[in-house]
Structure formats: structure tokens, C-alpha cells
Chain A
Amino acid sequence: MKKIIALLLAVALMACFAGCGKSDAKSDKTDLEYIKEKGKLVVGITDFAPMDYKDGDKWIGFDADMATKFAEKIGCEVEFVEIEWDNKVFELNGKSIDCVWNGMTLNDEVKAAMATSNAYCNNAQVVVVKADVAQDYQTAEACKKLKFAVESGSAGKDMAEENGFEFIEVKDQATALMEVASGTSDAAIIDSLMAAAMVGEGTGYEQLTYTVALNSEEYGVGFRKGSDAVAELNKFFDECKADGTLEKIAETYKVQAALIK
């Protein structure tokens, strides 16, 4: 028993030393060099049509296609990893992913926690209500009577606070929609791109619709804080705008109207 304990302690100690040793060595490489050396750009995403979604086993979508092209340009393979959205900053700093490229709204929290690219897409936060009462809630003022469900830590929550709405926070935007559909909340605030894809005729939520847009905002890509990969990506975005690649890929996924030119 004593021997086993001693062995376990020794292993733990060694693991500690190995950790320290490596952390000393890491600082002399820039983030872009680190990614290139690894030969693989690991992109953190969630299943979010039309930005990142699965076609069979392959990830496609406006963001996924652009990420694949960017990885190609810096001479890397691309790997998509589904993450828990709340943990995106840990995932980046812990290096289990290299960037977050998933229709991410550029708000103050995101800008403070990550190195963010130039905006590439417009978005808005919209109010989702049951279709049969939609005509009563066409202005932000009228919506003040409603009880809202918003995603915790989202841009939608910021909007609810700003407008002085009564709201509860739920896990994600899908749960917020669920709340409205099941009648446990009167309304939800979600991304307009998502609302366009998820509510209304021909979707899972035919009884819902979206009304007033509370703000306008922009999507960007996030890297680790201080990463030099951002400059490389901004250059890549400019090239893609110039040669029409960005427009072409946007058209494939019908998001060209939201594109920032």
C-alpha cells in the first residue's frame, strides 16, 4: 500500500513539473505560429444553421465554409469542435480550440475576453411572440407588458435590460423559444438570423413570429486574447470581399443580405 501511494505521489509530482516546464517554453511563439506548427485550426462551434451545421458528417454553412478556406490559406487542416457556448472563453484560453467562429455577436464582453476580427455580418435582436397576438406588439414600448425569456449572457439579455423588460434567463435561445411556445413566457429575444430560420411557416414553430428589432449588431470571429491570427484573418476577409468569394459563399447559404461590404 505504501509503495502504491508513493508511486502515485511521484507521478503527480512529475506531471506538475512537466506542466511547469512546458509553460515556460510556450511564450516565445506567437499564436499564429502555434496554430501553423500544429498544422490544424481548431474551430469552436455550435450547431447553428445557416452559419455552422451538419450535412451528413461534414460541417457546412457560411461560417464553416469561410473557416475551411481560411485554414487552407494559412496551410492548416480545419477541425470543427462542438462546444458548450457558455464555456467559449475557457475553451480558447485552455487551447482546446483556436477560435470561435459561429455567428458570434461582437458585444463588450466578447471584445474584452477575446481578440476579435472585423465584423463580417449584420444581425439584430428581435422579439418573438405568438403569431395570433403579434399585431399588438410591434413597438418596444408595447412589449413592456410582456414577460420575456432570454438566453443567459446573450445580447438578447442586454436588450431586455436596456428596455426595462421583465425577463428570466434560460440556458440558450432554443430554450427561450420553447418557453414562448409552451406559454411559460410571453415573448423571447433572439438573433434575427436565427429567428428567420426557426420561427414562422415551414419551421418547427409555426405558431410563433417575430416583430420588433430592438437593435442592430454585428458578427465577428474570436481568437485568444492578444492573438496575431486576427490580423491574418482580417486580411483574408478583405481579399475575399475583393475577389467576390465572400459574396458567393453568402449566397449559397442565403445570408448575402446581412453581409457587411
Chain B
Amino acid sequence: MIQHIAEQFPTVFAALNVGFLQTVKLFVVTLLGAIPFGLLISFGSMSKIKAISATVKTVVWIVRGSPLMIQLLIIYYFPGLVLHTPIWGSGEQGRFIAAAIAFIINYACYFSEIYRSGIQGVPIGQTEAGKVLGLSKSQIFFKVTLLQMIKRIMPPMANEIITLVKDTSLARIIALQEVIWAGQAFLKGSQGISGEIWPLFFTAVYYLAFSGLLTLLFGYIEKKLSYFR
């Protein structure tokens, strides 16, 4: 058994690495998009203009309230099937872009609520003190509120981001070839290896290692941010 796996390992390892690269790419692109976009959405949901806050809250409800898997299918297939305008193009790249957009929208909505809790959790006295000192609205946000908000939202953000690591596997529904897809390929047969389930089990090692690394990173950041104590 062990020798059997040892023989297949180089082939499987190479294929899984290619898949994992795609997983990491999707993870990074999602974060780069969702972190700023989420802030925009959180401003929208806190807007004093009723029409804006109501619209944004409805969108957040829809996105958070429906499965990400369905959102992926809709974003990838809807333009071609219903609007008769296949905008994503064929091949891997189109699938990646569609997946990234679905993930960014989904995670931005979750992030926006975390941001909102962080912003509203900063005592009102801080804003008032800023006003007394004659700071402008944006100065108060960036120099007073934002710093304290970042510190407060770190634990829930870490939670959400580690969930994202594993959620990337949902993208296989539109045939994005991430690491689970790469592992499953050996079940059916690929590169002369067929009927093997261990590559699929082995993909968990990648997720574990990656989330372990992130846990350490967030622990470090939280420690760095433990000022004001």
C-alpha cells in the first residue's frame, strides 16, 4: 500500500500543486477585491439616505441568504443562457474570472457586516472628540475610527478568511480546476492513475497547511494590534 502510493506520489503531487495554485489565486483575488468592496457596501448599508441603505441591505440579504454554489452557477451561465451573450469566454480563464466575481460579491457582503459592527462598535465619544478638535468627517474616519475598527474586526475577519480558504472548492461546480478537482481526477482516471481515492483525501493536507499558516499570521497581527490596552 505504502509503496503503491510512493510510486504514484510524484505524478499526483505535481497535479495537486497545479490545482492548489488555482485555489490560492482565487483566494488572493477574492480578498483583494472583497476587502475594499466590502467597505463600500458597509457605507451603503449605514447611509442616512433611506433609499440607498434599504437597497444595499436587500442586496446583502440576497447574497448572504442564497448558497454560493447557486451564485456561481448563475454568474457563469446566466449571461450566455438567458442574455445570449457569453461574456466569460471559453477555457480556464473565463471560468476563473466568473468564479472570482462571484466570490468577491459574496465575501464583500459578509465583510461589510463585520466592518459595520466594527465601525459602530467604536464609542460615539471618539467621533465627538474629533469634532471638538475640529477634524473633518474623513479625517475622523481615517485617523480615529478606522484604526480602532481594524483592531476590533480582526478575529471575525480571520474566521471569515479561513472559511474562504475552504469555500474556494465550490468553484469546481463551474469546472474551475482547483485542488479538489485535481484530486478527484485520479478517482476517475487521469495520467494513467485511476480508481485512487488517496489523492482526494490528500488535498485536505493542503487546506490544513494553508489555514494553519493563516492562523499563525492572524495571531501575529492580533498581537501587533493589541495597543490601547
User: Which A residues are closer than 8 A to B by beta carbons?
Assistant: 1-2, 4-5, 18-20, 22-23, 26, 40, 42, 46-49, 53-54, 79, 81-84, 87, 90, 93-97, 172-175, 177-178, 181, 197-199, 203-205
Partner of A5, one of B44, B86, B188, B189: B44
Contact B80 A95 (CB under 8 A): yes
Residue of A nearest to B89 (CB): A96
In angstroms, how far is the closest chain B Cβ from the Cβ of A55?
Answer: 9
Contact A174 B86 (CB under 8 A): no
In angstroms, how far is the closest chain B Cβ from the Cβ of A247?
Answer: 25
**Cα distance A4–B196 when bound, in Å?**
51
On chain B, the number of residues with a Cβ less than 8 Å from chain A's Cβ atoms is 40
Contact A96 B189 (CB under 8 A): no
User: Which B residues are closer than 8 A to A by beta carbons?
Assistant: 40, 43-44, 47, 49, 52, 55, 73, 76-77, 79-81, 83-86, 88-92, 94, 172-175, 177, 184-185, 187-191, 193-197
Partner of B188, one of A87, A95, A174: A174
**Cα distance A93–B80 when bound, in Å?**
7
**Cα distance A160–B126 when bound, in Å?**
70
In angstroms, how far is the closest chain A Cβ from the Cβ of B207?
Answer: 20
Partner of B86, one of A2, A46, A96: A96
With contacts A174-B195, A178-B197 taken as known, whether A26 is within 8 angstroms of B84 at the C-beta atoms is yes
A sample of 7 more A-B contacts (CB under 8 A), given A42-B91, A87-B174, A96-B80, is: A5-B55, A20-B83, A47-B188, A54-B190, A90-B81, A95-B86, A198-B189
**Cα distance A81–B187 when bound, in Å?**
19
With contacts A47-B190, A204-B194 taken as known, whether A96 is within 8 angstroms of B40 at the C-beta atoms is no
